[in-house]
Amino acid sequence: MRETLNYIIAALSLPGSTYLQAQNKETTHFIPDGYSLFKEYTGELNNDGLEDSVLIVKNTKKENVIIDRGEEVDRNRRGIIVLFNKEDHYELVAENLNCFSSENEDGGV
C-alpha cells in the first residue's frame, strides 16, 4: 500500500504531469466569491513570450438585478483581474473589482 502511494506521489510530482499543470494553470481560481467570469482575454503583456490572461469579472449580487420597464436588468458592476503567466502558474498583478459599469447601465446624456 505504501509503495503504491509513493508511486502516485512521484507521478504527480513529475514536471510534465498534466494534473499539476491543470491545477497551477487555472485562471478561474483567481475569481473571488460573489463574482462570475464575464470575459477572458489572453495575450502577451509583459514581453516574456508567455500568454498572460486578463479576466473581466462581474458581481453577482441579487439586489442589483432590478425590473425596469417590465424587463429584468442586471446592474451588477464589472471588474478586471490581470494575471502574468509564470510557466507553471499565474501571478496576480492587478485587481479592481468595481472599475466598470454594468453593460446594462446608461452612460448618461
Look at the pTM and tell me if it is higher than 0.75: no
β 90-100/71-74 pair status: unpaired
In b/e form, how buried is each residue of 44-55, taking b as 16+ CB within 10 angstroms? ebeeeeeebbbb
DSSP string, 66-107: EEETTEEEE---EEEEEEEE-SSSEEEEEEEEEEE--TTS--
Residue by residue, pLDDT tens for the chain (109 residues) are 444 444 444 444 444 433 334 445 789 999 999 999 999 999 999 999 999 999 999 999 999 998 888 888 889 999 999 999 998 899 999 999 999 988 877 655 5
